[in-house]
């Protein structure tokens, strides 16, 4: 792979250093400082870039503790439906909704939607009550009416989520829930760049890491401002720092203007 297409933490840091002039000039930044700036860039990337997160559906089995506390710890949630080990519950940054549970829900043969679909299957295909025109119209109207009844008597559960607490609070009467019952959590989760290395090659992320390393370089050298070396060279750390700050502002504005998810994406 081309050195201009990093696919790991090390290759991205090396790319940033080369962009700043290494090895032609000495970049006075410690490797650990570069690691810290990369972590900072990845955090910003996951919060504001649509490629930094992914919508997932997590299956979770309720426990008695969950029912008593009226909350679910995301650290107990395993990998998403149809996914692998990552992302998992600890990677969740935003929770959209908790799929309804309660007296009117169910997937067994006694569920009203199951019975309606079963009895009307041939009617839908052959025409309800012998009427071959618009065979789906009556079925669709009935299903919408059932959904209206569910929303009236068993509305969608109100939830609250904060990434700081790592808990999904359920503002509902948990007496409807039973131990061992499964719920589905719809959420956005951070993608692990080590599992999805194409993240390291994102155009804006490369520019952002480079600008952060440049900012660190300027901060390191600013205390030597005005010091003149043999040959007439003068340190200008403050100037490097200011240039980096301007570059960061431009990159952040571009990223949020063109790559941020819509406003209904709620950060936890």
Q: What is the mean pLDDT of residues 189-194?
A: 91
> Where are the alpha helices (H) located in 224-266, listed in sequence order?
237-258
Q: Who has greater pLDDT, 206 or 89?
A: 206
Identify the pLDDT of residue 264.
54
Cis bond before residue 23 (omega within 30° of 0): yes
Identify the pLDDT of residue 261.
75
Whether the pTM exceeds 0.85: the reply is: no
Summarised one tens digit per residue, pLDDT across range 12-36 is 999 999 999 999 999 999 999 999 9
Q: Which of 105, 124, 126 is nearest to 116 (CA)?
A: 124
Confidence of residue 204 (pLDDT cuts 50, 70, 90): very high
Confidence of residue 1 (pLDDT cuts 50, 70, 90): low
Alpha carbon distances (Å) from 183 to 56, 109, 114, 143, 180 = 14, 19, 19, 22, 10
Does pLDDT of 165 surpass 70? yes
Alpha carbon distances (Å) from 59 to 100, 106, 227 = 13, 15, 61
Identify the pLDDT of residue 123.
55
Identify the pLDDT of residue 235.
72
Token pair in block for residue 83: 């996914």
Phi, psi of 241 (to 5 degrees): -60, -45
Distance CA(192)–CA(7), nearest Å, equals 13
- For the chain, give the mean pLDDT: 82
Residue 129 falls in which region: left (phi positive, over 0), alpha (psi -120 to 50) or beta? left
Identify the pLDDT of residue 237.
83
Summarised one tens digit per residue, pLDDT across range 78-120 is 877 766 667 888 899 989 888 866 544 555 555 555 565 555 5
């Amino acid at each position: 792979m081309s050195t201009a297409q990093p696919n790991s933490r090390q290759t991205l840091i090396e790319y940033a250093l080369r962009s700043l002039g290494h090895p032609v000039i000495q970049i006075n930044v410690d490797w650990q400082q570069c690691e810290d700036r990369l972590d900072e860039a990845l955090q910003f990337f996951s919060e504001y870039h649509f490629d930094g997160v992914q919508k997932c559906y997590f299956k979770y089995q309720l426990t008695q503790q969950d029912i008593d506390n009226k909350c679910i710890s995301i650290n107990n949630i395993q990998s998403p439906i149809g996914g692998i080990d990552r992302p998992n519950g600890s990677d969740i940054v935003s929770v959209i909704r908790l799929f309804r549970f309660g007296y009117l829900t169910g997937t067994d043969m006694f569920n009203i939607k199951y019975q309606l679909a079963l009895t009307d299957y041939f009617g839908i295909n052959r025409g309800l009550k012998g009427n071959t025109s618009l065979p789906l119209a009556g079925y669709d109207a009935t299903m919408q009416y059932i959904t209206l009844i569910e929303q009236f008597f068993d509305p969608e559960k109100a939830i609250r989520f904060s990434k700081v607490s790592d808990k999904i609070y359920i503002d509902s009467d948990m007496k409807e829930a039973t131990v061992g019952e499964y719920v589905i959590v719809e959420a956005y989760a951070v993608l692990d760049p080590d599992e999805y290395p194409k993240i390291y090659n994102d155009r804006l992320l490369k520019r952002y890491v480079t600008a952060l390393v440049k900012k660190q370089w300027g901060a390191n050298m600013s205390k030597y401002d005005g010091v003149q070396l043999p040959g007439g060279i003068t340190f200008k750390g403050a100037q490097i720092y200011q240039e980096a700050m301007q570059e960061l502002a431009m990159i952040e504005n571009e990223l949020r203007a063109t790559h941020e998810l819509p406003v209904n994406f709620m950060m936890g």
